[in-house]
Amino acid sequence: MRQFTITEVSPYVRRVTFANPPVNLVGADTLAELSEAVEILGHDEHARVVVFDSSVPGFFLNHADSEDFVRLLAMTGQDAATPVFVDLTTRLATAPFVSIAAIRGRARGGGAELMLAFDLRYASREEAIFSQPEVALALIPGGGAGERLPRLIGRDRALEVFLSCHDYDADQAEHYGWVTRTVPDAELDGFVNATATRIAAFDKTALAAVKKQVNRATLPPREDLLASSTEFVAAAAGPGFQGRVQALDRLLAEVGAEEVERNMGHYLGMAALPQR
């Protein structure tokens, strides 16, 4: 794998590190490799806890790569009839190991949807940023955020996130319940490692059983995920999305890609983007 590295931290703890510089865009290769990593770890009988992090400063799992959109929309999961995001987020949420996200930097769009599928989400208080920017691009969330986020933070707050397309800092995300908790950046690695080590010391059968119990009470129906994926594909084929992407591309050229990526919530609201 080129974008993901799997490391054995201890006999029962694994770490998966993502790197797709410069800004960790999620493309077709990203999803293919992440699917492969989940498959490998799912068959690792010793893996009880898996920590997911990023080695690219400022970015965790970012939004989809617009230049790879055609391939992304055509991708399916292990079942050829299931869209890749539905397949991957479902397998992450139901994996036989406990998944922990150590979030430094931006988690946006499709990347934020993948983040929601992890069991526990610990965020750097100073560095983590969250956003679902789809509506500003004439889209809707199509990778599970429309179903998972309202279950975490409530209907009105989820609507605020989706409709405003703002960037949310870690403290606000914690207040809403978007993440499990925030931790000072200097303490994040130590906290996550200690949590992973503690959980991994417990019986794997019991860990898997309690995940299944909680999943029954909290995971969205598969039919809803499939419906949202279909609606997303339809929106992506519409003229509104094409016009917004072209305007964003012009803005990227004028202001600079790194500046826009770091402050996307601000730039999505600019008048430079066309109104429908």
Do 168 and 161 meet the contact criterion of CB atoms below 8 Å apart? yes
Q: What is the dihedral angle through the alpha carbons of 67, 103, 207, 210, rounded to the nearest 10 degrees?
A: -80
Name residue 49's beta-bridge partners. Answer: 13, 98
Q: Which residue has the tokens 């009105």?
A: 156
pTM: 0.95
pLDDT at 273 over 60: no
Name residue 183's beta-bridge partners. Answer: 124
Tens of pLDDT, residues 43-72: 999 999 999 999 999 999 999 998 899 999
Which three-class secondary structure string do you get for the chain?
CCCEEEEEEECCEEEEEECCCCCCCECHHHHHHHHHHHHHHHCCCCCCEEEEEECCCCECCCCECHHHHHHHHHCECCCCCCEHHHHHHHHHHCCCCEEEEEECCEEEHHHHHHHHCCCEEEEECCCCEEECCHHHHCCCCCCCHHHHHHHHHCHHHHHHHHHHCCCEEHHHHHHHCCCCEEECHHHHHHHHHHHHHHHHCCCHHHHHHHHHHHHHHHCCCHHHHHHHHHHHHHHHCCHHHHHHHHHHHHHHHHHCHHHHHHCHHHHHCCCCCCCC
**Domains of the chain in sequence order:** 4-202+218-255 (3.90.226.10)
Cis preceding-peptide flag for 221 (omega within 30 of 0): no
Q: Which residue has the tokens 């410069």?
A: 22
Tens of pLDDT, residues 123-148: 999 999 999 999 999 999 999 999 99
| Mean local confidence (pLDDT), 74-97 | 95
Number of other residues whose CB lies within 10 A of the CB of residue 142: 27
Q: Which two tokens stand for residue 134?
A: 């789809």
Do 113 and 143 meet the contact criterion of CB atoms below 8 Å apart? yes
First to last CA, the chain: 41
pLDDT reported for residue 76: 96
pLDDT reported for residue 242: 87
pLDDT reported for residue 245: 84
d(Cα 100, Cα 123) in Å, to the nearest integer?
A: 10
Number of other residues whose CB lies within 10 A of the CB of residue 146: 23
Do 19 and 57 meet the contact criterion of CB atoms below 8 Å apart? no
Q: What's CA 168's distance to the chain center, in Å?
A: 14
pLDDT reported for residue 252: 85
pLDDT reported for residue 16: 98
pLDDT reported for residue 274: 54
Tens of pLDDT, residues 134-184: 999 999 999 999 999 999 999 999 999 999 999 999 999 999 999 999 999
At residue 271 the predicted structure's pLDDT band, cuts being 50, 70 and 90, is very low
Tens of pLDDT, residues 188-246: 999 999 999 999 999 999 999 999 999 999 999 999 999 999 999 999 999 999 888 88
